[in-house]
Amino acid sequence: MTILPVPRTAIIVVAAGSGTRLGARAPKAFVGIDARSILRHALDGVFAAAPAQVIVVAPEGWEGDAESELREAAGERADLGRVVVGGATRQQSVAAGLAALWGDVETVLVHDAARALTPPTQIDAVAASVTADVGVIPALPVVDTLKKVGDGVVVAAVDRSELAAAQTPQGFPRTLLESAYVAARDGGTEYTDDAALFAAAGHPVRYIGGSERAFKITTPADLERARHLLGARAAASGIPRVGIGTDVHAFGGEGNLWLAGLEWEGEQPLSGHSDGDAVAHAMVDALLGAAGLGDIGEHFGTSHPEYAGAHADVFLARTRELLAGAGFDIGNVSVQFQGNRPRFSPRRAEAEGVLSAVLGAPVTVTATTTDGLGFPGRGEGIAVTAIASVIPTGPREG
Ligand code: CTP
Ligand code: MG
């Protein structure tokens, strides 16, 4: 058995509220959005983020149900999760979660189960932004025009450019958050969120961009919105999407050429951050583009020194992982390069075999010359175009 390192981050998922405003028969966290409850969706997001200790704060009497949701969402990470019972207020529920932190934890994220569709990237971004003395919240600009009101009249206009709507998870350095909670309890003050409690103890809080999907399910209309969002995703599953990628590299440097996943003995290499394999790079962009996952620079650029000198298999295997994580199967990829060299047809089958094996999907590669025109025609470099199709598989199972 492999012993995994103990995570330095914990996520407390508060789910102990009754959901008065939602008005369902069960506590809010156990109300179904689709086949899955609000809590289960929230935990799916939490476990898709970087590994962390996960503490679910459940309403009294619902610990067993929370355990089952936790086990199913956690999969292989079940050892990282536990359930504790919450209190009468959100603040007491968070305090119950804090009491269950492992000794090694340095950063604590507090997350509302009611923000069930929060993207895992938002969880990771908050965790990454917390420092030893600064808390971090995700927030969205306010879009409505706001008024200060009282007794049926508008008292004043409010400048919305100075306002932001706070979301969760909110992240804090552990020891400062713990002492801020002790101070709040001793002072007998209830705060509306953890950031307010942390700030009241004199600590700075920064904000990063939140996301529309991280809205809180509070009223029946919010639940409808969540159902609609998931329904739209399910309806989109099965309809293929396509993406395009291009790449150009100049010939230059020492050693052998790497192209289309193969080493070409005696051919001049292409220059580039990695091995210069423009065929592989265009394929990566086509695949990421089809899935809406950004581009090659974002995932493999010079800020990722681990990919310096890497070959096609490394790039493509990681791309396949990124797509699978986002719920996409690869349909096929078709690539064409323009260049005088290398003479490609004798090794076409070999290249297609290598590239298809890494992606687990058919890859076809064609080559053409440009009648002596342009930089490929003058033998200065190679230009590549790739098209990929991907198939959304809908909400991930398990
Ligand atoms: N929460 C909690 N313990 C409480 C109150 C709230 O763990 N005593 C949690 C809720 O489960 C929710 C989050 O805090 O995930 C945000 O609270 P809210 O949306 O207000 O949920 P409820 O309090 O359940 O709803 P309502 O206020 O409508 O009763
Ligand atoms: Mg409440």
Any ligand 1 atom below 6 A from CB of 19: yes
Give the ligand at the shortest distance from the Cα of 216.
1
Cα of 17 from ligand 2 centre, angstroms: 6
Q: What's residue 308's pLDDT?
A: 81
pLDDT tens digit string along 334-344?
999 999 999 99
Q: What's residue 4's pLDDT?
A: 65
Domain boundaries, the chain: 9-214, 220-392
What is the CATH number that goes with domain 220-392? 3.30.1330.50
Q: Which atom of ligand 1 is nearest to the CA of 20?
A: 29
Cα of 92 from ligand 2 centre, angstroms: 12
Q: How far apart are CA 311 and CA 255, in angstroms?
A: 14
Q: What's residue 396's pLDDT?
A: 45
> Residues of the chain whose pLDDT is less than 70?
1-4, 235, 394-398
The pick from 20, 28, 111 for probing ligand 1's pocket by mutation, whose C-beta has the most ligand atoms within 8 angstroms, reads 28
Any ligand 1 atom below 6 A from CB of 17: yes
pLDDT tens digit string along 245-283?
999 999 999 999 999 999 999 999 999 778 899 999 999
Q: Which atom of ligand 1 is nearest to the CA of 218?
A: 19
Q: How far apart are CA 352 and CA 367, in angstroms?
A: 12
Cα of 156 from ligand 2 centre, angstroms: 27
Any ligand 1 atom below 6 A from CB of 14: yes
**Pick among 3.90.550.10, 3.30.565.10, 3.40.50.880, 3.40.50.150: CATH of 9-214:** 3.90.550.10
Q: Which atom of ligand 1 is nearest to the CA of 42?
A: 15
